[in-house]
Structure 1
Amino acid sequence: MPQSYTSEFKKKIVRLHLEEGRTYNSITAEYGVSKASISKWCREFSEECQEKAIKNPDTTNEMDLMKENLRLRKELEEAKKENLFLKKAAAFFAKEID
Structure 2
Amino acid sequence: MANYNKYDPELKEKVLHLYLEEGRTKKSLTEEYHLGQGTITYWIQQRRKECQTNTTVKEQTDAYEENKRLRRE
TM-score interval w.r.t. the shorter chain? 0.7 to 0.9
Q: What pairs with 1:39-78 in structure 2 (closer than 5 Å)?
A: 39-53=41-55, 61-75=59-73
One-letter amino acid matched to 1:67: E
User: How many positions carry a matched residue from both structures?
Assistant: 71
Q: Paired residue for 1:33, among 32, 35, 47?
A: 35
Unaligned runs of 5+ in 1: 76-98
Q: Kindly indicate whether structure 1 or structure 2 has the higher relative contact order, using CA contacts under 8 Å at least 6 residues apart.
A: 2
- Superposed CA RMSD in Å reads 2.1
One-letter amino acid matched to 1:70: K
One-letter amino acid matched to 2:24: R
Identity of aligned residues (%): 38
* TM-score, scaled to structure 2: 0.79
Aligned equivalent of 1:23: 25
